[in-house]
Amino acid sequence: MPNYSRARIQDFLDRSDTAPNPDAKGRIFEDLIVYLFERFQGVRVADRNVLDNTGAQELDVVFWNNRVRSPFDFLDPILISECKNEAPPLSSAKCREFVAKLRSRGANTGLLISSSGIAGQLNGYRYANSVIMDALTADRIKVIVIDRAEILALNNTDDLINLITEKYLNLTLRRTLN
């Protein structure tokens, strides 16, 4: 159970929040996610900023999850993560885009790390969580959403294991994102 450095987590977030442009902001936020996940035996970065053959879809951080050695044996061997450090919660359209990325690659599980979480109903649009529930029902795609408050609450790797496990169970058993 390696500990996380709270000061280091806060530094990543502060640098990402004040980065001079969206690309730098995103890269630093992705670096934070790499820091959190590479502390696990059996989990490593497979690639970053991966474009599909058309150049239309980019994957932020892709982890190789060796399910024999990893505590995430219930997740896919290839973990696709989308990292968004944006002030507004992610819209249903952005959630739909991420689900489309997972679907087009045959992935069953994705990590959506959004600093501000995902949006509720706004101006008559569907709830962003409905998009995630629809993906679960229609395609058996599980999207685990992690927000800034949850990242800031992490003290050690066991906390992240427990968070992801609980979110996975809530999604599949209770059909909720909490």
pLDDT in tens, 80-113: 999 999 888 888 889 999 999 999 999 999 999 9
Which tens digits make up the pLDDT trace of 39-85? 999 999 999 999 988 888 999 999 999 999 999 999 999 999 999 99
Report how far apart, in Å, the C-alpha atoms of 69 and of each of 26, 107, 108, 143, 175 are. Answer: 29, 20, 20, 22, 29
Token reading at 49: 């900023």
pLDDT value of residue 127: 64
Q: Pick the closest to residue 99 from 47, 51, 43, 57 (CA basis).
A: 57
Report how far apart, in Å, the C-alpha atoms of 35 and of each of 91, 93, 157 are. Answer: 26, 28, 11
Which tens digits make up the pLDDT trace of 105-131? 999 999 999 998 888 644 444 566 688
What is this structure's pTM? Answer: 0.91
Q: Check if the beta carbon of residue 175 is closer than 8 Å to that of residue 137.
A: no
Task: Say whether domain 6-174 belongs to CATH 3.30.465.10.
Answer: no
d(C-alpha 166, C-alpha 158), whole Å: 12
